[in-house]
Structure 1
């Protein structure tokens, strides 16, 4: 594909590769991140792109715009700053049938699934224009699909899988997850469900998450290639020696029941809210030797936990109702008032307060909900949405996080701020955030990415009596960067990356 530059001469647009999947959570996001790091290390200016993402796990760009966390991870892997063009459409579910629609980094509407389908043609144009801007700035763009690329009832209105791959004239790598079983049916069945043009665009397959010796699957590879006439680019083993942030909360669905004991002195619990958002806030804690981070869903005795965290929520009032309905509310209040350590992040911070009011019905029916009452604050949900990259200080510990919220939280007379805010979106300010009570044992903040800076993590761990563990950890940006290197090495060991590179090298001289 070609375009006209500002001088009127014809200039080649960057080529694209598309990574599509046989289903959700087959590893597309992680594979794109690994390919981004691989090509970046070759000296290729590479960028990720996902036309439409559905996730409550989001982040903020340097410009103060919101985008999917997975594309931020992929941009980090590519060694570039994230930009809203990399995820021009983000759907943030607020209920089983509704979502907030974020376009080019800004929330534009709350929509039902049915209404959203009427918007998709216009949004495809928005996404196409965003892709073209990326193609004008980079040497290579790696597209990620969404869910299964063979949902026959949705293909007519698809704007993220084969239609976008065709628009970009991108060769398709089809990813299947062998760990969940049925890999032959996943791959062959996908080809059977799509049309001839789409089958022609699929150049081959990546078989992901293999446990055991990949050599034992050699006959399976031969069968797939004989049946389809397409190449298997590799069998990627399951990895456990590094972690990459997951795209969506499907990875923490139905957590195993926790079994606290007096010996579980280093256990930290995260309440698995129905509308949990930004659960990757807590990934740095998982990387600290000696800490057991556990997501908990069913109410239980809490005396076996050193600390509990209430995470962000895309529907705060609905999740408060869930806490009350399930009995969690009473247990958390008892835990917080009887010596336990509680931390609330964003929506979790709002829940720890006394009231959350939604007079305009931004997250559902207008009204207000009684919170847990552990912090002397109250919240009013209101537009516009706050999306900032925020520098803060907690005592002598400096941090960089991000804010994404529709609420304003006000202190009551006894409220004591937690953090000093130094800047938002690069603008110096003198502000405060959060609240603390019960001699510092209960605290809340709007800051996502709270644990990204080791100094902040160390201070929090010290506050709950685990400060000695923090010195052993490498996490935050440095830890993620090392993980991207290890991911790239993992793919180089198990994929035919030379063959993948050849898919675009004629149009991308720096890829050759």
Structure 2
């Protein structure tokens, strides 16, 4: 390309106000205009991650946005990924590879270096695309963090990107969110903010017109629109906040069979189960407090960013006893990644990868033990489960070797390279299975195979499932957003030559 791509930023008045959703919508809307669009988030903090075609790791939200833009994901779209392992420390993934484990304090000493790396990634994206939709992180007005900011207004200024500020009316205080954000930033930063989107509105939008007028008169900036709450389609969530207040499962209360997922303290990649949540005639429940598991069709132990710590939590909280009783009474249990490791006899950490070196006793439901060790495995993996083909991805530290006669799957390719390997393990009776495979339920045939195995053959998996269902949802999101936002007004924020291409 003869010149760099334009940039447009989507920032928020706080966490979980809808930045990711608006960014995803704009990626699909401008892709539908015929532009080559790429998402970008300099720094993401999430234990939901995925693998690029190059075998590198990046935030799952930017993979979703790349799918919406109809382009392959690349780690330049998320050069810095923080994966929390404790309340004060994270693994830092830089340019797709695990770099360091750092405390919050240590991380901030490296911000200037990471800002430079993030700018370099953005420049590479700008050299290959027409438009970059930049997503911010949290609130863009955290005054105590602004001096070392690498993802919000400092980055927007560097990219000369007009900013759309998203506010969430559902949580209340939307006027204070908007005006308060502007009051917390400098006059120069206020100039970067071009207008607002009000998200998650319920009720009659016409009744909010005086609210729009007040915001526009008070700030001198336009409201580009009010997005109503949607329920007729689903977009993958970035933050675990969406599952933190999941309703408690009560045995016998649901007319349809229910699959339970344990809400581990360090849960990762819970988006693995989104395809299950969309199945007609089946419920999915996230379980937080120990409870009776009788009546569940199956229990899933999900991925974890801190397997040993979460194993201890299972014991101390009382969940282990509940799981063992459920297993003894003929319950089906599936473990994925960290959950698979927990199902074995031991998780050994000789090098202290998760903290203090040592070994943690597992649940003992599968005849495997895990040794945590570097380097991290990050692969796109083609596999077969009893002859049924699927494609998933692996992100894990360590190795787990099952007895060959009890292995679950045959692995045919990793990152496009042919291999002859095995993954996962099953108990002798087949009621307990474990695998490293994230994205397991993206393939409708694999999902149906597992449902049949747990006695839910009456639940039918449609072909509009997994990636196909996600693509349909991106179109629905684009239609919903274009209906309620002033897209022409947003186009006017872009450079003149790009405006002309869009008209």
Q: Specify if TM > 0.5.
A: yes
Aligned with residue 267 of structure 2, among 259, 276, 295: 276
Q: How does 1:65-80 map to 2 (within 5 A)?
A: 65-80=56-71
2: CA distance, partners of 1:397 / 1:218: 54
Q: How does 1:217-236 map to 2 (within 5 A)?
A: 217-236=208-227
Please give the secondary structure, in 2, of the residue aligned with 1:12.
Answer: coil
Q: Could you list the per-position Cα deviations for residues 350-402 of structure 1 after superposition, in whole angstroms to 9, with x for gaps in the alignment?
A: 00001001111111111110110000000000000000000111123211110
2:468 is equivalent to residue 468 of structure 1: no
Aligned with residue 480 of structure 1, among 463, 467, 470: 470
Aligned with residue 133 of structure 2, among 129, 142, 147: 142
Aligned with residue 124 of structure 2, among 130, 133, 136: 133
CA contact (8 A) 2:444 2:462 kept: no
Please give the secondary structure, in 1, of the residue aligned with 2:67.
Answer: helix
Aligned with residue 166 of structure 2, among 175, 196, 200: 175
Aligned with residue 327 of structure 2, among 336, 341, 346: 336
Name 1:447's counterpart in structure 2: 437
Q: CA deviation at 1:260?
A: 1.5
Aligned with residue 53 of structure 1, among 44, 62, 66: 44
Q: Could you list the per-position Cα deviations for residues 134-153 of structure 1 after superposition, in whole angstroms to 9, with x for gaps in the alignment?
A: 00000000000000000000
Q: Could you list the per-position Cα deviations for residues 442-463 of structure 1 after superposition, in whole angstroms to 9, with x for gaps in the alignment?
A: 0000000000000000000111
Q: CA deviation at 1:256?
A: 2.5
Name 1:375's counterpart in structure 2: 366
Q: CA deviation at 1:250?
A: 1.4
1: CA distance, partners of 2:403 / 2:422: 14
The runs of at least 4 aligned residues of structure 1 exceeding 6 Å deviation read none
Aligned with residue 186 of structure 2, among 192, 195, 203: 195
1: CA distance, partners of 2:43 / 2:223: 27
2: CA distance, partners of 1:253 / 1:364: 25
Q: Could you list the per-position Cα deviations for residues 422-466 of structure 1 after superposition, in whole angstroms to 9, with x for gaps in the alignment?
A: 100000111110000141110000000000000000000111111
Q: How does 1:359-370 map to 2 (within 5 A)?
A: 359-370=350-361
Q: CA deviation at 1:261?
A: 1.4
Q: Could you list the per-position Cα deviations for residues 9-53 of structure 1 after superposition, in whole angstroms to 9, with x for gaps in the alignment?
A: xx4211100000000000101111110000001100000000000
Q: Say what the alpha-carbon RMSD is for the aligned residues.
A: 1.2
Q: CA deviation at 1:257?
A: 2.1
2: CA distance, partners of 1:36 / 1:265: 36
Unaligned runs of 5+ in 1: 6-10
Q: CA deviation at 1:474?
A: 2.4
Greater shift, 463-472 or 245-254, is seen at 463-472
1: CA distance, partners of 2:269 / 2:149: 26
2:103 is equivalent to residue 112 of structure 1: yes
CA contact (8 A) 1:88 1:130 kept: yes
CA contact (8 A) 1:21 1:149 kept: yes
Q: CA deviation at 1:473?
A: 6.2
Greater shift, 464-473 or 153-162, is seen at 464-473
Name 1:257's counterpart in structure 2: 248
Name 1:314's counterpart in structure 2: 305
CA contact (8 A) 2:447 2:461 kept: no
CA contact (8 A) 2:91 2:100 kept: yes
2: CA distance, partners of 1:161 / 1:505: 21
2: CA distance, partners of 1:450 / 1:328: 24
Name 2:408's counterpart in structure 1: 418
Please give the secondary structure, in 2, of the residue aligned with 1:418.
Answer: strand
Greater shift, 68-77 or 288-297, is seen at 288-297
1: CA distance, partners of 2:139 / 2:492: 26
CA contact (8 A) 1:262 1:304 kept: no
2: CA distance, partners of 1:25 / 1:397: 38
Name 1:324's counterpart in structure 2: 315
2: CA distance, partners of 1:471 / 1:309: 19
Aligned with residue 208 of structure 1, among 175, 180, 199: 199
CA contact (8 A) 2:248 2:285 kept: no
Please give the secondary structure, in 2, of the residue aligned with 1:282.
Answer: helix
Alpha carbons of 1:510 and 1:393: their partners in 2 closer, same or farther (altered >3 Å)? farther
Q: CA deviation at 1:507?
A: 4.3
2: CA distance, partners of 1:208 / 1:251: 16
Q: Could you list the per-position Cα deviations for residues 207-241 of structure 1 after superposition, in whole angstroms to 9, with x for gaps in the alignment?
A: 00001111111110000000000000000000000
CA contact (8 A) 1:284 1:475 kept: yes
Please give the secondary structure, in 1, of the residue aligned with 2:126.
Answer: helix
2: CA distance, partners of 1:491 / 1:16: 19
